[in-house]
Structure 1
Amino acid sequence: MLRGFILALVAVLTSSAGAATANSIDALSIASDAWLRTGPSTAHARITGLPRGTVVVEIADVDTAFEGHSSRWVHVHVLEGRAEGRDGWVWGRFVDCCRPYEWLD
């Protein structure tokens, strides 16, 4: 799982839209209120709601790291808010790119 998180973070860093600074990354954000789920379908339990604007990074493997999000489930790690630190799944239409996220204190 750490391998997937690292791959997604590297993908974000290398495909940056240029808005990030030296102390930030261009992370994904939740485009509209969405459910964070335990697995990639509505049959999986809801973990919590993610409000619009919540910053996440994709946990991806080599097969999905550069695919579009709109028509698939996206495995994410939440970087802020009430679900900070949690991993889960969000339907891709609720995932948007890119929002600068300060990752160094």
Structure 2
Amino acid sequence: MGNTRNSVLEIEATLGAIERVMNKAEVETLASVNSAYANCTSECGPLMQYIGAGYYVKRAPLVIKRVLERGLAMANEEETRQKYDAAKTNKAPKVSFNVDSA
């Protein structure tokens, strides 16, 4: 059960890092179409971002995020199933009494 918990924690940490990387900010920009200029806002975000412990990551695609979310759900289900199985096998043993009629 410890390995499942570790994998859950690793997936959650990776998802947290992806969330930080995928955060976008709106900045004021100057756009030009032909010879006309207009002020507008555009979304931008870092191409590379420091996530700690010496790691830098690129902006992760949503596909990877979804794969990790599915992995997290599966790991949580496995952990719940293992707890249920452990509780089921730790039931008190059945004791049968032989009553002899005299």
Q: Which TM-score band (shorter chain)?
A: under 0.3
TM-score, length-scaled by structure 2? 0.22
Bigger strand share? 1
The structure having more radius of gyration, on CA atoms, is 2
Counting helix residues as a fraction of each chain, which structure ranks higher? 2
In the superposition, the TM-score normalised over structure 1's length comes to: 0.22
